[in-house]
Amino acid sequence: MLASSASTLDNEQWQSFAVPNQCNQAGIDLIKKFEGFIPHVYLCAGGYPTIGYGHLLKEGESFEHDITEEQAEALLRDDIAVAERAVRNLIAVPLNSNQFSALVSFTFNLGSGALQASTLRKRVNAKHYDDVPYQLQRWCYAGGVKLNGLIKRREAEAALWCKA
């Protein structure tokens, strides 16, 4: 039924059918675990001003005081929505909720440009799903340095990807 239905759908309809719309709770929990909650502005491993659960400060955005976990979660929801849109726009094949959420975590962490230019994206869109854990694990560097935290995060994303 999927093949016959797909031929009558326009691209936007196909995308919404083929890819989940939201990161699931396992994906959100993964992001929160690896980002950690920090109530004040700090420099992340990449050297960018950050607050809360990995929220990168935008130009003109500042936080004079610590933020609460609730405020951090609101920022996180907005940031995850950006990553979700990027995954929906860049991935053109069916994914289950865990696969989508693993890619959202990856994109949240590295940005949509990294996903767009990656071999990971090419392998996913070619339906080489078994290659994805390896491709994820290639992305464990920040500033040219291999980081333990990124190794563990990519392993967690790969495990989520493989979970039925």
Out of 12, 35, 73, 155, pick the active-site residue. 35
Residue 2 in any domain: the answer is no
Residue 93 in any domain: the answer is yes
Of the candidates 79, 76, 103, 78, the residue with the CA atom closest to the CA atom of residue 20? 103
Q: Give pLDDT tens digits for 115-153.
A: 999 999 999 999 999 999 999 999 999 888 999 999 999
- Tokens 């694990």: give the residue: 137
Residue type at 24 in one-letter notation: N
pLDDT confidence of residue 4: 34
- Told to judge if 12 belongs to the known catalytic residues of this protein, a careful annotator would answer no
Residue 18 binned pLDDT confidence (cut-offs 50, 70, 90)? low
Q: Domain containing 49 — which CATH number?
A: 1.10.530.40
Q: Give pLDDT tens digits for 59-112.
A: 999 999 999 999 999 999 999 999 999 999 999 999 999 999 999 999 999 999
pTM: 0.86
SS3 23: coil
Residue 1 in any domain: the answer is no
Residue 80: which domain range? 10-162
Residue 134 in any domain: the answer is yes
Residue 73 in any domain: the answer is yes
Residue 74 in any domain: the answer is yes
Number of domains in the chain: 1
